[in-house]
A and B are shown apart, each in its own frame.
Chain A
Amino acid sequence: MTQTVISSASREVVIGFETPFTVIGERINPTGRALLAEELKAGDFSCVEADALAQVAAGATMLDVNVGVPLTDEAALMAQAVTLLQSLTDVPLAIDSSVPEALEAGLEAYRGKALLNSVTGEEERLEMVLPLVRKHGAAVVAICNDDTGISPDIDVRFEVARKIIERAADHGIPASDVVVDPLAMPVGAMPGAGVQALELIHRLRTELKVNTTCGASNVSFGLPNRAGLNPTFLAMAIGAGLTSAITNPLEPTLMQAVRGADVIMDHDAQCQAWIRAHRAPAARDGRRRGRRRSRG
């Protein structure tokens, strides 16, 4: 079964078909967050620090790092952010940028095996990003669009994924180090986008046998109660075969959906994580105070 191993200096995370779902915290991203953008521009990382710690505490097992602020030196910011985050937490990082120099700077500063976010099927991107992935022994997120755009036809998106995986192989990158993003488009603006994403996830898993990830909050764009819709999509996507998501672990309903899906998918042995998270508080003060030593 396919496993994508991502690591920091001291910790490994396995994205895989038989392991608990991987939540990659999305909060360290200045898009749509004016305060974070202002801080980053001024070289102030206090918000980044707080976001990192809060997301890890909430259950993120990886963190996505995007420091794309207009009119800044994104490469320098990325290197600083990566170094800082690795001194704060041992969860592995996804280095996220559309600027190749920033990806490279992030990889150079990184200790461990990073997830590079991302490459697309666009010719220029493939030849810019894949050599970086190979050089640094990283894994990479592959987004299912190419030079012609994001196809509404999932057969086309499937073929883009296949092309990226083949091209990665040409560069010496195994398919197990390619995590495909099927692109979950907004259902409010594109009727059918939800069920299409589910179908594509299923095909990626059963036919290409790759790990998958997606930005799960895009689905609810333009709709009310997004915090209600996103967990629903995520649970269904996990059922279809999704193995990780770049999403917001600070949303309690979302983490609950992930934990619940782990139980249903049999990725939570004896439901232990679920029980730990939901045992009635009174029971904690009862008899089960600590582990009993075995006799003998």
Chain B
Amino acid sequence: MTEEYDDIILADLSDEELIEQMYDDLYDGLADEVAEGTQILLDRGWEAKRILDEVLVAGMTIVGVDFRDGILFVPEVLMAANSMKAGMELLRPILADTGAKPIGKMVIGTVKGDIHDIGKNLVGMMMEGAGFEVVDLGINVEAETFAAALIEHRPDILGMSALLTTTMPYMQVVIDTLTERGLRDDFTVLVGGAPLNEEFSQAIGADAYCRDAAVAVETARRFVEGTA
């Protein structure tokens, strides 16, 4: 392969040019370049929280919109999320030290009896891309495990996934468990999975049904911003 263009030297770019370039690099899933750009901004004295919000999350928002609109596809979104992670690894220790808060926190899992996790993982990654802290409980998660995790992590959002008509009623069991413990109103409950629909989501007392990962992110954002 021949290079048609000279390599861009990220360190030579102004802040503004660098950010534009990082949006492109996130979009193209270039992890090393995103990490390098992140380090340059840190070296220039940018606060970690500002880099996260104005560069990484803003860049992933562009990715999310194009995914929603069918311009980008799953492997590209996974690469973009991975490249964001490369930047996040540099920011995370600093964010932890400074006590900066994520835009929101989510506990997510596939409900008891169900072992499907591709969609759930995609939602988790997109949520991290949007600046949420995500606690993933994995597959086959019992109501008790959900309840314990909610008490421990105090998230804004509970996300549940089910891919089977036999397992989706278990979402109701989880919600009922939360209601019994007086916890239900402390969290926004989002549900998703192939056999679900809006009507089912309402019937079991969830706050919203999310058709795909992009919709899940938009919905979660609206809830934490109080615009839902």
B165, A98: Cβ atoms under 8 Å? yes
Q: B73–A222 contact, CB under 8 A?
A: yes
- Tell me the bound Cα distance from A37 to B121 in angstroms: 27
Is B200 located at the chain interface by the 8 A CB criterion? yes
B139 and A149 form a contact (CB under 8 A): yes
For A37, list chain B residues within 8 Å (CB): 197
Residue of B nearest to A225 (CB): B73
Contact with A along B58-74 (1 / 0, CB 8 A): 00000000000010011
A221, B197: Cα distance in complex, Å: 19
Q: Per-residue CB proximity of A185-222 to B under 8 Å, as 1/0?
A: 11011110000000000000000000000000000011
Q: Which of A7-15, A67-75, A236-244, A249-257 contacts B (4 or more CB under 8 A)?
A: A67-75
Chain B 104-137, CB within 8 Å of chain A: the 1/0 string?
Answer: 0000000000011110011000000000000000
Smallest Cβ distance from B135 to chain A, in angstroms?
19
Q: Write out the residue numbers on chain A whose beta carbons fall within 8 Å of the beta carbon of B216.
A: none
0/1 string, A160-173, CB within 8 A of B gives 1: 00000000000000
Number of interface residues of A (CB under 8 A): 28
Minimum CB–CB distance for B66 against chain A, Å: 13
Whether B168 pairs with A70 at a CB distance below 8 angstroms is yes
Contact partners of A188 in chain B: CB under 8 A: 73-75
Chain B residues within an 8 Å CB radius of A296: none
Report the minimal beta-carbon distance from B217 to chain A, rounded to whole angstroms: 16
| Chain B positions within 8 Å of A185 at CB level | 118
- Supply 14 A–B pairs (Cβ within 8 Å), ascending by A: A68-B165, A70-B197, A74-B165, A99-B165, A147-B140, A186-B118, A189-B74, A189-B75, A189-B118, A189-B121, A189-B122, A190-B118, A222-B74, A224-B73
List the interface of chain B (C-beta within 8 A of A).
70, 73-75, 78, 115-118, 121-122, 139-140, 164-168, 194-197, 199-200, 203
